[in-house]
Amino acid sequence: MNTVQLMEKEIRREVLINAYTHSGKADVGSVMKKVLGSNAEFRSKSKEVLSIVKQVVAEVNQLSVEQITQLLEKEFPGSIEQLEEKKKARSTEKKKGLPDLPNAQIGKVVLRYAPDPSKYPHIGHALNYMINELYREKYQGKAFLRFDDTNPQKVAREFYDAIRDGMKWVGCKWDEEIIASTKMELFYEKGRMLISNSDLYVCQCDQETIRKNREQMMECSCRVRSVEENLELFDRMIAGEFPVGSAVIRLKGDMRSKNAVMRDPVMFRLIDPQKTPHPIVGDKYWLWPTYDFESSILEKELGTTHVLRSAEFGTMRVELQSYLIKLLGGVPPVFHQYSRFRITGAITKGREIRELVEKGIVLGWDDIRLVTISGLKNRGIVPEVVKDLVLEIGITATNATIDWKKIETFNRRHLDASAPRLFTALDSVKVRVEESPVDQITLRYHPTNDSLGERTLSLTGDFFVSGHDVFSLSEGDVFRLKDLFNVRVVEIADVITLEYAGKELIPNTRKLQWVPVSQALSLEYTIPHSLINPDGSINENSLELRKGVIEDSITAFEVGSLFQLERIGFAKLNKRRDRVIYMHEIHK
């Protein structure tokens, strides 16, 4: 086929594709741009190209879409499949990432991270943090770290630090830290203001009566108290003159609302500070605001423009918090709720994780089998994976299920470029190569990353290899010691004897990993498995311990370093003790 014929064929293909993708009507300009852009050799003949393009476009545009489709399938097989795959990829790409926020302006967006310091954060929290961080970056906005800690019965000091550390690990930044429990006088001030405006009242009904009245949409008799009486009772509650459970502060909402949350919800309740001192403010306060009241006050005070949070909070609370902010004279933020993130085969509920910790089924909140942030970090998952997941999954209204394999895939991409390679043999067996022609070999730590350097292994002819590999061999078999040379099995006895069988690569020859006996350290290798059995029960035997050997080059690296163990998987160095190396598997 000569040059002119090639040019005509290429033009015809592009015209048919352009017509197919534009409802049967090809465009001369679009085709020209594509043909000349993809074929530099045609640019010197642009006039000739234009003439042919116009002619073919005129012919093709006379055809129906069905005829164009048939010609494209016949003359250029596979083109339609490629077009549809690209179309699907573009559609998927558009759905990924972060959609624009309503009413958001560059430099004027104010966000907040509002964790409840009652547990260690897990990957779902990390994803929520990252969503806020990405929007903060996108709109060059401001962000507050706000601890919603006005329930002394749940919060603990250790969780504040765990949250800060987790957010820093993920890569989130904040302009200022706010601890709600230190704003109690502000909450009391706003409480008095709303009581004075007849928006709050003191209710001394028992919990059962309150529950029944709300179910039956009946107003409480306490609602008719005067402002003066409510203010007096409010101050007495602050002073600790009422026993716990004897009185609450309620909002005058709408007892006939279809939204049950709006039926005079509780805004303040009594908690005995002697029995339950607060980790930040101690035993100073008796009367504590609920989350809805505290959050609404702080949204207004901080000027929050957008609240980005998981849909598990529910839209019912959006109505309540917006109503409270309006009562306070503020403008409600835009509430942008997205799906809750679920991890297949993982436990993410704080209560369930706490139970595993307390029963000793896991080794702590940072156990490598958990998807707590500290557990992921301890396992060897790099923080960049969190951002990868957010951008891959996007933000949708439907629950997003993340397969653990997806986390492994993203983590593998990051580690593959930076993790040093090491030689290891699990369930190791000793072999001897008679008259080995090589006394040392210098190998790179990474096939493409020169910055990791290299190491030299001394060879005496004695090697450790994987027992699984060796016991599948028979006398006379030929295999290759990876990156070294070929060997033939001479004898299988207490020590397996091999003989040198040449250096040249032999097609389809098995390659076995090895560690020189002279530079071998003992290895204890822990492999984590899923905490959940297929039937949903807890797998109490989800840590597998295997033993073997590893090259002593590992001693050049710090504890905590991440590696790729050749033919095994990615692993983390946990500790060294005498001549024993302790590692765990991150993933294959």
**237 contacts: CB under 8 Å, gap ≥ 6:** 202, 247, 249, 268, 270, 286, 287
pLDDT in tens, 267-287: 999 999 999 999 999 999 999
**Closest residue by Cα to residue 111 from 98, 95, 97, 96:** 98
Delimit the domains of the chain by residue range: 3-95, 110-338, 343-416, 419-588
What would the pLDDT profile of 428-482 be if each residue is shown by its tens digit?
999 999 988 889 999 999 988 999 999 999 999 999 999 988 888 899 999 999 9
How confident is the model at residue 85, as a pLDDT?
Answer: 73
pLDDT for position 71: 87
The number of angstroms, rounded, from the C-alpha of 316 to the middle of its chain's C-alpha atoms is 27
The pLDDT value recorded for residue 563 is: 98
Spatial CA neighbour of 475 closest among 504, 510, 499: 499
Q: Does domain 343-416 bear CATH number 1.10.1160.10?
A: yes
Neighbours of 96 (CB within 10 A): 12
Specify the CATH architecture of the domain 419-588: Beta Barrel (2.40)
DSSP 366-383: T-TTS-BHHHHHHHT--T
Q: What is the pLDDT of residue 297?
A: 98
For the residues of 101-151, what is the DSSP string, one character each?
Answer: PTT--TTT-EEEE---TTS--BHHHHHHHHHHHHHHHHTT-EEEEEE----
Spans in the chain with pLDDT lower than 70: 1, 3, 87-97, 396-399
Amino acid at 244: V
- Of 508, 432, 416, nearest to 464 by C-alpha is 432
**Contact of 554 with 573, CB cutoff 8 Å:** yes
Chain center to CA of 353: 18
CATH of domain 110-338: 3.40.50.620
pTM of the model: 0.80
pLDDT recorded at residue 339: 77
As a whole number of angstroms, the longest Cα–Cα distance in the chain is 102
